[in-house]
Amino acid sequence: MPEMIFINVPVRDLPAAMAYYRALGFAHNPQFTDETAACVVISETIFVMLLTHDKFRFFSPNPISDTKSSTSALYALSRESRADVDKIAEAGLAAGGSEYRPVQDLGFMYSRAIADLDGHVWEYMYMDMSQMGQG
């Protein structure tokens, strides 16, 4: 079995969160989806678990952060090109997300950061390794 990553995020409105990630082009795995959780398939080895607050509390004894007023994490997801970065960022904005910060163009790396409906920040980025400096 390959190593996999599951990113668990609390959401206020599970159906709305599911619709948001569908608008970005991601599928859901019905095997791990019910009225308290939804499994968003990013790739064969990367998944986002959208969990209602009650379900999230089952896994974490700490209070749930208010990601609308503070940042708990930044999730970076690479794309194949600058155009792909713009495409997914624009889809996120059209689905109700918000621009977290201005576009960053560092020459070798291009990125856009979009906050989802619950304020979880996704940094979509493209890196051109041929433009990277040496050590």
pLDDT tens digits for 103-113? Answer: 999 999 999 99
Residue 133 pLDDT > 80: no
Residue 58 pLDDT > 90: yes
Q: Which structure tokens are listed for 1?
A: 């079995």
Q: Class of 72-135 per CATH?
A: alpha beta
**Sequence ranges of the domains in the chain:** 1-60, 72-135
Rounded to an integer, the average pLDDT of 8-22 is 97
Half-sphere exposure of 61 (CA within 13 A, CB side): 0
Rounded to an integer, the average pLDDT of 47-71 is 93
Q: Which structure tokens are listed for 69?
A: 């007023």
CATH number of 1-60: 3.10.180.10
Tell me how far CA of residue 40 lies from CA of 29, 44, 95, 129, in angstroms.
Answer: 6, 11, 16, 29
| Cβ contacts of 88 within 8 Å, gap of 6 or more | 24, 25, 79, 114, 124
